[in-house]
Structure 1
Amino acid sequence: MTKTSAGRFFEDYIVGDVITHAVPRTVKMGERALYHALYPARHALHSSDMFAQACGLPFSPLDDLVTFHTVFGKTVPDISLNAVANLGYAEGRWITPLWPGDTITATSEVIGVKENSNGTSGVVWVRTTGRNQHGDMLLTYVRWVMVRKRGSGPAPSTVVPDLQKAVNVADLVIPRGLDFSGYDFALAGEPHRLGNYTVGEVIDHVDGVTVEEAEHMLATRLWQNTAKVHFDATNRADGKRLIYGGHVMSLARALSFNGLANAQMIVALNGGGHANPCFAGDTVRAWSEVLEIAETSAPGIGAIRLRLVATKGQAGLLRGADGKYDPDVLLDLDYWALMPV
């Protein structure tokens, strides 16, 4: 009797099923050190206890994308081990900050399935929830993945979920005690507050990072992401290891510091996807477009909705005349962040 698992295939997903993902993960300051070694992350709230305490928090929380990557990594053996592609995200919300010493667990509910016309794969939608050791919700999001079929047999009945285009401002969760009324712009690194940004503004973040094989594999192992395409060069016809999309996400978010240093905390993931593959040797650059600006009821805190684009090309270029993503575009991400007013 075999002891190993080949992972789930498309036929194995049933709408309504809840999957408990294995291997809880306790995160400490080592995760922060590695995260900041892998990415040029410099947002002050995630770097300094002193800065965080001046903003009303007990100490500095771990970077928001540490929460995302760790939860995402828990799901890979059950959701995307046999994936062809990770297609998109929606309805993501960060509910509780991740503190050093927290233990993360994750579950996913299957909310949609649809076989592709080629009969060899299908799309699976799941709503994933990460919690801490107290049972508090850390993060919840929907993602959809194209998954291979095991064979040519019948597929489950089609169910396509109806998803929000964006998280409502009223549904954004602001960490308890967070207060930007005495915010130190000099220590944060830039003077720009919410009122200095206008809807439609495009910000070129200027800098670039060339992706290395060793770094992306270290990052993917750090998040315990076991997807074969990121490690096994024989798993793709081109013989290349595909860069984990979250690695590109964190690179772009870190690069966005230059121009958005005061977009301190990510609180929602409205949508987005990985437009084109990224490989070692590619140089990742980033630009952002301001989509929406809103006030909140928290002291000194506003919300800014941003489109973050990672690209190998020029700032501001997203799609061609045919409506398709430009070949240089790697990531198109729509998110809400908290910023001082």
Structure 2
Amino acid sequence: MTISQMVTSRAAAALDVSRAARSSKLSAVVMLAAVAVLAALPFVAFSNVTDTLVNLFVLIALASMWNLLAGFGGLVSVGQQAYIGIGAYSVIAFADQGVQPYLAVPLAAVTCVIFAVPTSWLAFRLRGDYFAVGTWVIAEVYRLLVVRIDSVGGGSGKGLAGMSDLDQTLRGALTYWVALALALATIAACYLLLRGRLGLSLMAVRDEETAASSVGIDVRRAKRVVYLVSAAGCGAAGGVITVSSLSVNPDAIFSVQWSAYMIFIVVIGGIGYIEGPLLGAVIFFGLQQLLADYGSWYLVLLGAIGMAAALWLPRGLWGLMRDRTGLSLFPVGYFVRGRDA
């Protein structure tokens, strides 16, 4: 062994490499306690509180899926409302066939994956801005197709069957728990995907697709995996929206406004961080509750906040917090420190 190799070996032995920072372990305990409190909330809070929180959980799920797609996969989509709509109508169709609506939510996610496979072959022929516009066009095509299907209500929409037999209080609690499970599942899916080899491949593809391909990364496969996962998450969110509202309308469920919400949440929260959609969704949800009565000024203020965040906080609020505190709730990289630190 040469002297340089000996020095390198001793330096490596003096370092401690781990997948979690010390602060992450404490934050994990805090998050588990928060989840336990949220799960018990229907027993101690009024139904209007839990009904409102369902919207927050849906926003977290949708933003997490868009962040996985754009923040880690480099696929900026303006058409994820396609899978929200497909998921919503899948729940309607399954319920009409006698499937319990809550059980239809995961089936809606699977249905969206099935639709996303051929859709991805078309969408991935586009790049950059063309991909973004193309996904929006695809979503509009799906909406126009649904409008022409009389069995699901056509242009006027349709009510959800199979819910009238449930007690209203029980129905509200079940909807709340399903929405909470959806939010937790989407966050966990992002975390588990990004901690593995796929996560490294995605970030390489996002940073420089040509270079990633040159070192042996299957770029198309990595993109397709996150596209399908994002479609499943958005489809399940659409299903939760349906069981919460008990009806679906094609113009509302396929609205590009859903993509606008996702983009806004991720931009202000922090794109490229798992924690970003969580923080952004809470802020967006708070703004909705405070400013919804102000009509058009509510939208003007949201636009101003979004532009300010894009100009002065390109990494979002969580990026700023991460730079100043080093806090990471969901570490997906490696932490290196001295053993005596």
TM-score, normalising length from structure 1?
0.31
Higher strand share: 1
Q: Which structure ranks higher in relative contact order (CA pairs < 8 Å, sequence separation ≥ 6)?
A: 2
Pick the structure with greater CA Rg.
Answer: 2
TM-score, normalised to structure 2, is 0.31
